[in-house]
Amino acid sequence: MPVAIITGASRGLGRALAAALAGRGWDLVLDARTAVVLAETAGELSALGGRVVALPGDVTDAAHRKELVAAAQGLGGLDLLVSNASALGAEPLVRLEELMLDGLRQALEVNVVAALGLVQESLPLLRASESGTVIAVSSDAAVEAYETWGGYGASKAALDHLAAVLAAEEPELRVWAVDPGDMRTELYAAAVPGDESGRPEPETVVPAFLRLLDVRPASGRYAAPALLEAK
């Protein structure tokens, strides 16, 4: 069975994507910082049939990243790496004049540095796979200038560029930066408390990710809403 590592997998989009892959028979290595919630998620997904390894930890910790990749190797290799864990840099979001530099550093550390570190750690296994794939979960804030989203958007723009360069350097892999679009997640609620605009649940955009895995288009940046409309 194919094997995936998904970071930030205990809730939201990460959990929804993990559930969809488990339903397709994938074996999973799941990461999140909150051990109890991650264990609950892993228990539920294990019931779907695949093997699930839950490793709580912080993706900014190099030892934890090694642990994730070692777990994938223990399951037989690695076919898909999904960098979904994200940090806002400020909760709620603030204008740039108020953004604490330590907050910006945290966003860059989680969203960019840790994502690259995990790619570097995973490359030998991804290259050995017949379908080695990297998905970097991006945001429309990476390409649009929304007030208060400057620090987070800058980190996602940097992640997009790393993905694009990785695709050029690793032509045998598929490397997709994916903007999932609007979703009702804890991350968004922390960014914009009290927003009641009725955003869709993360499960609604998962079919876009599955379409990428099924069709395997060229490496590049994709928006989930456009993928869903194209079906």
Catalytically annotated residues? 138, 152, 156
d(CA 141, CA 37): 28
How many other C-beta atoms are found inside a 10 Å radius of the C-beta of residue 196? 5
Token representation of residue 83? 């960098």
C-alpha distance across the termini of the chain, in Å: 26
- φ, ψ at 211 (rounded to 5°): -65, -40
How many other C-beta atoms are found inside a 10 Å radius of the C-beta of residue 189? 14
How many other C-beta atoms are found inside a 10 Å radius of the C-beta of residue 57? 17
d(CA 77, CA 51): 13
Quick check: helix, strand or coil at residue 71?
Answer: helix
Residue 26 is classified by DSSP as -
- Cα 194 from chain centre: 25
d(CA 204, CA 86): 20
118-146: burial string, b at 16+ Cβ within 10 Å, e else: bbebbbebbeebeebbbbbbbbbbbeeee
